[in-house]
Amino acid sequence: MAHRRSLPIAILSIEGTNCDEELATALRELGANPEIVHLKQLMGFEVPRDRRRRLSDYAAAFVPGGFSAGDYVRAGAIFAARIRSAIGPELEAFVRDGRTLGGICNGFQVLTELGLLPGRGHGRLGSPEAALLTNDSNRFECRPTYIAWDGGEFPPLATWPKGTTLYAPSAHAEGKLVLAGPPGEKLRELEANGQVVFRWVTPDGTPGGYPWNPNGSAGNVAGICNPNGNVFGMMPHPERAFFPLQRPDWTRDGRTDGLGDGARFLDAVLTHAERRN
């Protein structure tokens, strides 16, 4: 995999985000220059001047997993509201500029609450057009899961064969993607636009219901992007599938070196961000 030395990546955090260190480690292993940036650092006050940051200084940004603000009200809602009020215009400019913005698990919930996913095509924040609701099992699901690339209009994976399957574990209680409008209509629109990035599948890559789809999302949708392909969200955790040793079956296939499926995905995202910059 290509070694990068200067690609600055912001990993946004507030109280309750808890996958930021794992994501930073994964991105650093791929040669990027990630920095965990608290929202207050981007707001420009209540922090020393030398700790203040500008979103525009980063080539890409991620909203990581966790339970931001305790997931009170609903998952991701408080973090999204604080982003909107603190750096809304800066985030809109970041997206309009074509920079990569990714949300993983709780981050997917945040980007949905901001109205950036499924998105309107112009990078503007707005009222939500989708929600990530409580899993059909009505419980927190922490389990090995698999996803398949749907062959849509997501530039980082443009060269991947459709159906490429990745191991990426899940850990969420609110991951059922529900889209606004009549049942099925918005999903068909996303499919036609190539905005479905990943679907839940069985280990052999075929469609499957629970437990392989851990939340009950219609169409087994596990990840989507905006119309321009530079904002994406996914429920499973690629940073938790970075090394082969993180797979539950590593003792069976004997693979302990190299990089895992999550690394392949994150490397593709970084490669695209690097080319754009």
Annotated active-site positions, please? 105, 237, 239
Distance CA 199, CA 85 (A): 33
Characterize the bridge pairing of strands 60-63 and 100-104.
Answer: parallel
Q: What are phi and psi of 197, to 5 degrees?
A: -90, -50
Peptide bond preceding 211: is omega within 30 degrees of 0, i.e. cis? yes
| Closest C-alpha among 131, 207, 111, 229 to residue 176 | 131
Report helix angle 20-29 to 261-276, nearest 10: 70
Q: Are 136 and 176 in contact (CB under 8 A)?
A: yes
Residue 161's CB: how many other CB atoms inside 10 A?
A: 8
Query: Dmax of the chain from CA atoms?
Result: 52
In what side-by-side order are the strands of the sheet with 100-104?
Answer: 33-38, 8-13, 60-63, 100-104, 231-234, 221-225, 196-201, 146-149, 165-167
Distance CA 94, CA 63 (A): 14
**To which H or E segment does residue 132 belong?**
strand 130-134
Distance CA 276, CA 100 (A): 9
